[in-house]
């Protein structure tokens, strides 16, 4: 029996086996992540009762580690979902067919990435499109910067505003400024 992908039952059985192996590998990684979390000595939180006396950078580092671990876990879960979708395609006879152009995906590509949805040409096009979007985002700066760098600001008033404020003084005491107390 051949589907849209022109693969016979032997090839389908092979790819089903490869998908099962990949799924098992990703599930093992997920299981390790669940059991080990961020390390044996870390409990995903501070061991102290209060974080009041901790430096903010320390708390930020812990938060980064937790978020990084969560992102890696989500990546593995997405891989398992993609493998399940590929197994459904085997059942429907559409496995190995590019979702974009409808051509058969090369068997070498399927051996390396058994849950591939796109042929190599469409995958390259998709990657180039995503890269182009990322570059466009880097070019776009916040609108506030346009106002800050606007030529409408009168340069001569910048120094005057500071001098006006200094007439009222500051909260610095004489010893903070390094000057002598004058009576």
Say yes or no to pLDDT of 97 above 50: yes
What mean pLDDT, rounded, does the chain reach?
78
Say yes or no to pLDDT of 123 above 60: yes
Say yes or no to pLDDT of 154 above 80: no
| Residue, of 81 and 162, whose pLDDT is higher | 81
Q: Does any domain span residue 114?
A: yes
Q: How many domains does the chain have?
A: 1
The vertex-35 CA angle with 71 and 66, nearest 5°, equals: 30
Could you tell me the pTM of the whole model? 0.62
Q: Does any domain span residue 182?
A: no
Domain that holds residue 133: 9-141
CATH number (domain holding residue 134): 1.20.120.910
């Amino acid at each position: 029996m051949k589907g849209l992908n022109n693969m016979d039952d032997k090839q389908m059985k092979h790819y089903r086996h490869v998908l099962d192996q990949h799924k098992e590998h990703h599930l093992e990684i997920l299981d390790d992540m669940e059991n080990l979390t961020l390390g044996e000595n870390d409990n995903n939180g501070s061991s102290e009762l209060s974080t009041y006396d901790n430096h903010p950078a320390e708390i930020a580092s812990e938060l980064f580690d937790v978020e990084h671990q969560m992102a890696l876990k989500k990546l593995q879960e997405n891989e398992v979902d993609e493998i399940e979708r590929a197994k459904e395609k085997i059942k429907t006879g559409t496995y190995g067919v590019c979702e974009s152009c409808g051509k058969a995906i090369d068997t070498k590509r399927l051996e390396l990435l058994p849950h591939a949805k796109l042929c190599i040409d469409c995958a390259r096009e998709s990657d180039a499109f995503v890269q182009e979007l990322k570059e466009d985002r880097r070019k776009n700066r916040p609108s506030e910067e346009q106002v800050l760098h606007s030529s409408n600001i009168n340069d001569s008033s910048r120094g005057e505003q500071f001098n006006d404020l200094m007439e009222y003084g500051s909260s610095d005491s004489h010893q903070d400024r390094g000057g002598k107390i004058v009576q």
